[in-house]
Chain A
Amino acid sequence: MADTKLVETGSAALAGISTEAKVDPGILNKLSKEKRDEFNHVAELRKQERDGKDPMEAFRNTLSRTKFGKDKIELTNTAFGGGEATINNGVAEIPDTASDEAKANFKKGKEINEKNSSVLTYTQVLKEAAREGKTVQEIYTKPPYSIRTTTEWTKQRNDALDALLKDGKILKNFGNELNGLSDPQKRDYIDEVLAKDPALNEAIITRMEEIKKTGEQFKPTTESEEKKKLDEDKTNIKAELDKNFKFILNDIGIKDATEQAAIITSLQPYLDAGADGGKLQKELLNIVLEKEGITSTGDINTYQDAKLARAQTEKQLPVLEKQIEDLKAELKTVGKDEKERKRIEKELLDKQREYNTAGSTFDTAGGVMDYLKDKTKQDDTWFNEKSMKLSEIRDKIQGEIQPDGKRSGGIESYTENLANQQKSLNEIDKKITDLPPAADADKEKAARLAAESDLLLQLEDVLSDSISEVLLKRHEELKDLEEARIKKAIEEATKAGDAWSVQALEKYSEALKTRYIDSTNKNIVTHKDTIRDDAVTLAHDGENGAKEIFSEITGMEDEAAEKDKIATELFSPPAASGARRVITRYSSLTDVQKHQADETYKQRVEKLNELFDKNKEGLEATIIKSVFAARGIKEKLNIPLGGGDFLNNNEWKMLQEKFSDLLTKGSPVSAEMKKVEEELQKKGVKLGPDSKLKWLMWALLGGLGAIGLAEANLIKKVVS
């Protein structure tokens, strides 16, 4: 039982906390959602406090609600996309009208979030199962997860672990060490030493919440009113133009959407070039005819003309023949009336000429038709069909031929409309181009997109940063465990009146807190050089090196210097206020005094040895874990383990050999390591005695073992 006691004063009493929450419900409605949530959070904690429930139970209840579900992921997605992304039916979307840059940001954010979301879901299920004492299946089959089959769950697990394994920055931490394993073994390793640790889920959630909040604070981008109005007009006219296009095509019998789209695409360049209604009508006719395979309209027209001429002359020739015969008969009977004879002769001559011309036309038309058939390698049927189709299309597009020979009732008025609408669009585009630079709006938009890019970098780092945080967290646990042990030792030394040990232990305690990774406040400082120097000393000199470091930390000098220090402490007169104490050298002491100083020195050496024996493992583990933790804090350091400027391969090898006992020493660590190793072995993952993976596991399993939490054991129980 500890001697340390808690004093009676409670801060609740000191602070005079009211245990009743009295809030007008109307006020709640006026609060932002965030504030309302906070209020509810406090109210619930208060209720649990008032009900006299176990305070830890109240904390645990709060914790099991900490989630980052699909709704929050979608909300985070809207942080990207230049302020134009919105949630529609629970899914983040970005309109087509958004700029390319905005769309690119949105797409990237969504891709990263998909990966983060898969890790979040998997680790969330494990955490909930552990905290609620249920099996993972009991959790994942229920909302919000609703994963129905084990196959689906296995896929969820694999996706999540692969997302961790394929993250370039995470690989930097585990890279080469993992290369010797198969993919399923890699997953098992990451699963056992990292994913099952609730701290990873907590770390990811913290980061995602931060990103969501930053995104929510982004300013919505604004545009000038004039530009906004022009954009609106443009959108409306474009919609009308599209509608018009479709109406025309439907009207001429082209109803298939794909065909319509193809025709619009072909006609668009003419529209863009400013073609008038007539030109558009002509080009539309050409496009439609081409689509129907009518490419040689001239030949078809000529064939049609020739056919008509031949048909007309074919009817005309027998009539003329009859008329000629009649005139010839009349001539025979005319008698001597010269005037009448001449009239008949002239008429006969005219009819004869007419007959010859018609005959010639008949022959020529036939020749032309034969020539065209030969030229196009088509027959009469083809020409007849195409002629009919051509007439039909012309009738629809150009209108039917009227008695005056002109076509009327076509689509020219509609194409004229198209031309006018396009003209309006072109004018709006010009106005937009001519708008004075909307400096503020543009700047705002550019600033938002730049801020989004920064946030994307942060989002990309969520998983790797979270792992770094877990490494650091485990390192801190070890340090705190050491610190607690030292506190107890200091208390004991204080009671024993051993001032020197108290001082030495206080120095050691301070060194553990600040010498390697100083996390005594929120701004963590990593002392890379000290970590490197001390790790190299351990690698080269083993336990002697550790003692050297311990002596330095506790302020123990070499023998001569320490004896001089003792001589001053024992025999110099006390210094006057503000003055420095007179230094007494050991060499100047009398034999009796020397003897006394020697005895004191001897006692100090004994005490130092005793303290070192009690603290060496903690010191060694702290130094080596600092290597891993510092390596994990990638923004500040990029330290390759075994290689580069930190520890070279040989030094790392020496360190491993000299301190391999640490992997099995210390009951909580070894117990947890053993459990995890057994779990991995069951799955076929065997780690050799010098395996770096084993050291990484040791670093991740923390001061008290993966978490040392009861819940960690529970996780293993429910998962296995």
Chain B
Amino acid sequence: MDPNSTDFSVQKDALAKELLGLMIRALEEGKITEDESNKATAFIVERFDQAQDIYYLKTSIERLVANWPCFQPALLLFKTEEAENQDQAQLLAAQKQLEELKQQTI
């Protein structure tokens, strides 16, 4: 399984595996009770069944984290990608400004 894949079903699988690991860890460390984990499980199953794209999955995990912070590390999977995107956008904006300046100078 390649977590860098852009194939949605592979991404979904990677996330589910991540969440399962986090849930086990949270239960072992007493950060979440069995009842709470059942509630979180119901949420995960429902949202994963509904999800048609990675954006909905991300929003769903943000909501999951809002209710059960023990899943916070799962957001790291998205954060770095977001940062890359932001860098890319900043680079594009800088290039655009540079282009404009060049034209003004000419």
Contacts and interface: CB of A to CB of B under 8 A. Distances in A.
A710 B20 CA distance: 21
B30 to A, nearest CB: 9
Contacts of B8: 1-2
Mostly helix, strand, loop or mixed at chain B's interface? helix
A22 to B, nearest CB: 12
Contacts of A5: 4-6, 11, 81
Contact of A56 (B16, B54, B77): B16
A577 B33 CA distance: 49
A494 B85 contact: yes
A66 B19 contact: no
A4 B35 CA distance: 33
Nearest to B7: A1
A12 B73 CA distance: 9
A521 B63 contact: no
B6 A495 contact: no
A708 B50 contact: yes
Given A4-B58, A6-B4, A42-B28, A11 B74 contact: yes
A708 B66 CA distance: 22
Contacts of A4: 6, 54-55, 58, 78, 81, 85
B6 A66 contact: no
Contacts of A8: 3-4
B89 A37 contact: no
A59 B44 contact: yes
A306 B23 CA distance: 101
B2 to A, nearest CB: 9
A56 B19 CA distance: 10
A480 B58 CA distance: 9
Contact of B15 (A6, A34, A476, A519): A6
Interface in B35-83: 35, 37-39, 41-42, 44-50, 53-60, 63, 66-67, 73-74, 76-81
B27 A38 contact: yes
Contact of B59 (A58, A483, A707): A483
Nearest to B79: A7
Contacts of A37: 34
A142 B84 CA distance: 54
A6 B55 contact: no
A45 B44 CA distance: 15
Nearest to B39: A206
A709 B49 contact: yes
Contact of A58 (B7, B20, B28, B60): B20
Interface stretch (A275-283, A445-453, A485-493): A485-493
B92 interface: yes
A64 B12 CA distance: 21
Given A7-B80, A9-B76, A10-B18, A55 B42 contact: no
A603 interface: no
A604 to B, nearest CB: 17
A1 to B, nearest CB: 5
Interface in A99-144: none
Contacts of B53: 2, 484, 488
B83 to A, nearest CB: 9
A437 interface: no
Contact of A17 (B25, B45, B96): B25
24 contacts: A1-B7, A1-B8, A2-B53, A4-B58, A4-B78, A5-B6, A6-B54, A7-B78, A8-B4, A9-B76, A10-B21, A11-B21, A15-B25, A38-B27, A45-B23, A59-B19, A66-B41, A209-B35, A480-B59, A481-B59, A483-B55, A484-B53, A494-B89, A709-B50
A598 interface: no
Nearest to B83: A7
Max count, chain B CB within 10 A of own CB: residue among A10, A38, A66, A495: A10
A571 to B, nearest CB: 15
A41 interface: yes
Contacts of B60: 480
A254 interface: no
A707 to B, nearest CB: 7
B98 interface: no
A63 B40 CA distance: 10
A167 B5 CA distance: 50
Nearest to B36: A206
Contacts of B24: 17, 42, 45-46, 49
Q: Which 7 A-B pairs have the closest CB atoms?
A: A11-B73, A12-B21, A484-B55, A484-B56, A55-B16, A494-B89, A7-B80
Given A202-B39, A480-B56, A709-B46, A497 B92 contact: yes
Contact of A42 (B27, B66, B93): B27
Contact of A7 (B16, B19, B76, B92): B76
Contacts of B3: 6-8, 10
A597 to B, nearest CB: 17
Contact of A9 (B19, B28, B80, B89): B80
B4 A707 contact: no
A37 B37 CA distance: 13
A7 B50 contact: no
A323 B31 CA distance: 120
Given A494-B89, A499-B93, A11 B76 contact: yes
Max count, chain A CB within 10 A of own CB: residue among B18, B66, B80: B18
A662 B47 CA distance: 23
Interface in A5-39: 5-12, 14-15, 17, 34, 37-38
A39 to B, nearest CB: 9
A49 B20 CA distance: 8
B6 A2 contact: yes
B63 A476 contact: yes
A484 B39 contact: no
A111 B21 CA distance: 42
A49 B80 contact: no
Given A9-B80, A11-B18, A59-B41, A2 B55 contact: yes
A63 B19 CA distance: 15
B46 to A, nearest CB: 6
Contact of B48 (A56, A202, A483): A56
